[in-house]
Amino acid sequence: MKSALGLVLPITSWLLPLVAVAAADPGGKPARPNIVLIISDDQGYGDASSYGSTDLQTPVMDQIGREGIRFTHFRVNPLCGPTRAAVMTGLYATETGMWRGPGEGAGARSKEGRERGRERRVRDEFQFLPQYLKAAGYVTGAFGKWHLAADPKSVPNARGFDEFVGFLGGAHPYWLTKNSKIQQNGKPLARPGAHTTDLFADHAIAFIKANRGRPFFCYVPFNAVHGPLYREDAPRTSGKPEWLDFYEKRGVDLPRRDYNAVMTHADRRVGDILETLRELGLERDTLVIYHSDNGGILHTYPSNNGPLRGGKGETYEGGIRVPAVMRWPGVIPAGTISPANAAHFDLFSTILEAAGVAVPEKNGSLPVRGVSLLPHARSGGSEALPDRHLFWDLYGACGALHGDWKLVGQISNHHGRFDQAAAEAARTKFELYNLKEDIAEKNDVSGNHPEIYRDLKERHLAWLKAQAGP
């Protein structure tokens, strides 16, 4: 069987305060469309065929971009957990408590957190995106990698998801055994011999079919293309044989062959999800968003970040600029390409607005930082995003952005002590780049533009100090 995309398809077997819900718009679009949010894991900027020359094929991501909007300057955190925290809360991950990945162990309370009061988890005061959507009548499901802490208050079912199939940690082997840590709503789920990509896609498809008559939020955070993957010191492949063969015939050698096989497999299963929407007549009533959680990792696996410098864990563009596409037929004009400086936490407001849910001014005690991308996307990119400054910190990897100007700096690991981080950053020489002229961040022009450097540096220091809280 072939999908509308021309792809060969495999056979696949709390109450919250009331949230204001808008009426249907004058154009007749439903006030509560379905939402499908897909996040790939460690997919580099150059690991999508619509983002430049590459040996890795992503026909479904490319198709979504052609049928909607493709962002060329979409930025995230340079690490998995913080990006997910920002998407789910509309806030900077650092201010939610997720200043790096969640704490170790099932309780998500690391020794560091217990001793210093800096637990690496999203604090209880902040509501997650599915909690807002549930209050508006949505059924919610998550299928894949969670990585937002594993204590009882942080697991998916406690944060607004009706259905969860996946794993709670940061990584998991693709090929499942009887000892795998996959769970369904808190209980072990045994599927020996299955591949995680197929397991998550199949459950997402079943969720969509079961809830076709009501608005749903289907969150699919694949673990593709995160390790474990083939390495010379660990020569075991994670790709399925048919995809390994696909790339072998195209002359792609290991270890890149395994990387490509895993990523394209996930991309094609996204195609199965889209085909399900088409078959159920839900295609035009569904907003689909598909992006990576951080840049490709370079020191362990053969990722491709295209022309960008750096990778996962760094605040150079290779660590924070990622492929991102959105599709909503009849709402987002097809073929839109946007160079706007969009960001991860914008998806919180975007999804709520699409769902007809009033975007809150605050989440918990903090102002929502993201803005809805819908006006920009609806206009084919002609309606500009607000002029704003964006900031990053990943336990010492610093960054600030305004327009084409990018500040990058590195201080020591501050372990969540942001007052100390700001003090060290103040005496550290950062780098300044004009991304319009220097996308590869090769030429530090801080000496040529002292006023721009000083302004960005002062703003970043003020932001760092604010992360320490009151």
| Same-domain status, 412 and 305 | no
Tens-digit pLDDT profile for residues 324-338: 999 999 999 999 999
pLDDT band at 442 (very low <50, low <70, confident <90, very high): very high
The strand pairing partners of 372, in sequence order, are none
List pLDDT tens digits, range 233-244: 999 999 999 999
Shared domain for 362 and 470, answered yes or no, is no
Q: What percent of the chain has pLDDT over 70?
A: 90
**CB count in 10 Å sphere of residue 118:** 17
Give the domain-ending residue among 341, 373, 388. 388
197, two tokens:
């990509």
Q: What is the pLDDT of residue 69?
A: 98
The answer to whether residues 43 and 147 belong to one domain is yes
Judgement on whether residues 67 and 88 belong to the same structural domain of the protein: yes
Residue 289: both structure tokens together: 């968003």
CA distances from 4 to 60, 283, 365, 399, 465 (A): 11, 11, 46, 42, 51
Query: Is 21 a residue whose pLDDT tops 70?
Result: no
> Average pLDDT of 268-289?
98
Q: Taking residues 389-416, what's their average pLDDT?
A: 97
* CATH at 199: 3.40.720.10
Express each pLDDT in 448-462 by its tens digit: 999 999 999 999 999
**What are the φ/ψ torsions at residue 97 (nearest 5 degrees)?**
115, -15
- Is residue 27 a part of any domain in this protein? no
253-260 average pLDDT score? 97
Q: Which pLDDT belongs to residue 118?
A: 61
Phi, psi of 49 (to 5 degrees): -65, -20
Do 171 and 274 belong to one domain? yes
Asked whether residue 453 is domain-assigned, the answer is: yes
The reported pLDDT for the residue numbered 28 is 42
Question: Hey, what amino acid is at 250?
Answer: R
- β-pairing, 34-40 vs 286-292, is parallel
Q: Does 217 share its domain with 141?
A: yes
Q: Is 453 strand, coil or helix? A: helix
Task: Work out the number of other CB atoms within 10 angstroms of the CB of residue 21.
Answer: 14
In a domain, 3, yes or no: no
Q: What is the mean pLDDT of the chain?
A: 91
Q: Is the predicted pLDDT of residue 468 greater than 70, yes or no? A: yes
| 51, 74: one domain | yes
What's the confidence (pLDDT) of residue 104? 52
- Tokens 């700001």, located at residue: 422
pLDDT tens digit string along 365-374? 999 999 999 9
pLDDT in tens, 132-175: 999 999 999 999 999 999 999 999 999 999 999 999 999 999 99
pLDDT tens profile 27-46: 445 568 999 999 999 999 99
The last residue of a domain, from among 336, 353, 388: 388
Domain count, the chain: 2
Residues 6+ apart with CB under 8 A from 255: 229, 230, 231, 232, 301, 302
* Range 399-414 average pLDDT: 97
103 — pLDDT class (breaks 50, 70, 90): confident
Is the dihedral angle over the CA atoms 106, 167, 210, 373 positive or is it negative?
Answer: positive
Confidence of residue 26 (pLDDT cuts 50, 70, 90): very low
pLDDT band of residue 469 (cuts 50, 70, 90) is: confident
pLDDT at 53: 87
313: left (phi over 0), alpha (psi -120 to 50) or beta: left
Q: What is the pLDDT of residue 280?
A: 98
Do 400 and 359 lie in one domain? The reply is no
CATH number at 460 reads 3.30.1120.10
Asked whether residue 383 falls in the same domain as residue 396, the answer is no
- Give the pLDDT score at 262: 98
Among 390, 398, 393, 399, which Cα is nearest to 416's?
Answer: 393
How sure is the predictor about 3, in pLDDT bands with cuts at 50, 70 and 90? very low
pTM over 0.75: yes
**414 has which bridge partners?**
none
Q: Show the domain range for 468.
A: 389-470
